[in-house]
Amino acid sequence: MDVDLLIKGAEILDGSGAPTTRGDVAIVGDRIAAVGRAEGARAKRVVNAMERAVAPGFVDIHSHSDYHYFLAPQVESQVMQGVTCEIIGNCGYAAAPIWGSWLEDRAREYKRIHGLDLDWTTVAGYQERLKNIGVSVNYAVLMGHGTLRGSAMGGANRPAKPEEYSALAWELEAIGYRLVPIKRFTRSLRSGLGGAGGEPDFERQD
Ligand SMILES: [Zn+2]
């Protein structure tokens, strides 16, 4: 077997939860071609990993890389730690959807501090920008409750008025979500900017 990279003698954690084994990992191009014993493989490059462990990429479920991607699209701060997938938009602080004076204020701040141009309002627009720069990790985007509320009603510490609620609903429905009564989510919204909500929450509409 001809391979591009052969990692030899590593302690292998395959991500399944199974006990570790010691063996080889053969890679062709950007794909794993074989795991186990790779006797007789001809490799362009061999890495002796006797003192090392090999594992699938880690998922960072609480990341704030939303804007950082534009500053460092190679995301080395994550990749160097073995992270290959991030969940962004945490703590209600998502980059989209965002509109109105909330967007203007944030755009001014990021232009001043980082020289960034925030020229999107929707999640689709945000993702289009990310696609254009190329980001080296996989990512999933959370809906930012704080960003949504801020866009619809600023930082007001009160339940949404009907017209503000409508603005939230419209933005969410535009990307396939619907607002639902909050009662069963109450515990999760007691603190932070999200805790000021009291009324709306959202879930995926399938
Ligand atoms: Zn956070």
DSSP string, 132-171: HH--SSEEEE---HHHHHHHHHTT-SSPPPHHHHHHHHHH
How confident is the model over 84-137, as pLDDT tens digits?
999 999 988 999 989 999 999 999 999 999 999 999 998 889 999 999 999 999
CATH of segment(s) 59-204: 3.20.20.140
In the three-class reduction of DSSP (H, G, I as helix; E, B as strand; rest coil), residue 110 is classed as: helix
Pairing of strands 2-12, 21-28: antiparallel
Cα–Cα distance, 55 to 13 (Å, whole number): 5
**Model pTM?**
0.75
State the pLDDT at residue 113: 95
Percent of the chain having pLDDT more than 90? 59
The more confident residue out of 202 and 164 is 164
| Ligand 1 centroid to residue 146 C-alpha, Å | 12
Confidence of residue 142 (pLDDT cuts 50, 70, 90): confident
User: Pick from 64, 52, 14: which is nearest to 34 by CA?
Assistant: 14
Is 88 in contact with 109 (CB distance < 8 Å)? Answer: no
User: Pick from 32, 64, 57: which is nearest to 137 by CA?
Assistant: 57
Q: Which of 33-42, 46-55, 130-139, 148-157 has the lowest average pLDDT? A: 148-157
Cα–Cα distance, 24 to 158 (Å, whole number): 59
In the three-class reduction of DSSP (H, G, I as helix; E, B as strand; rest coil), residue 185 is classed as: helix
Q: Mean pLDDT, to the nearest integer, of 148-169?
A: 78
Confidence of residue 154 (pLDDT cuts 50, 70, 90): confident
CATH homologous superfamily for 2-56?
Answer: Urease, subunit C, domain 1 (2.30.40.10)
Domain ranges of the chain: 2-56, 59-204
| Ligand 1 centroid to residue 144 C-alpha, Å | 11
| Ligand 1 centroid to residue 159 C-alpha, Å | 23
Half-sphere CA count of 114, side-chain side, radius 13 A: 13
Cα–Cα distance, 98 to 20 (Å, whole number): 45
Q: What are phi and psi of 40, to 5 degrees?
A: 80, 0
**Chain mean position to CA 85:** 7
State the pLDDT at residue 59: 96
Question: What residues sit around ligand 1, an ion, with C-beta below 5 angstroms?
Answer: 90-91
Q: Mean pLDDT, to the nearest integer, of 67-88?
A: 96
| Ligand 1 centroid to residue 90 C-alpha, Å | 5
| Ligand 1 centroid to residue 88 C-alpha, Å | 9
Q: How far is CA 176 from CA 173, 179, 185, 203, in A?
A: 5, 10, 20, 9
Q: Residue 196: is its pLDDT beyond 60? A: no
| Ligand 1 centroid to residue 86 C-alpha, Å | 12
| Ligand 1 centroid to residue 141 C-alpha, Å | 13
| Ligand 1 centroid to residue 69 C-alpha, Å | 16
Furthest-apart CA pair in the chain: how many Å? Answer: 70
Is 54 in contact with 27 (CB distance < 8 Å)? Answer: no
Q: Residue 21: is its pLDDT beyond 90? A: yes
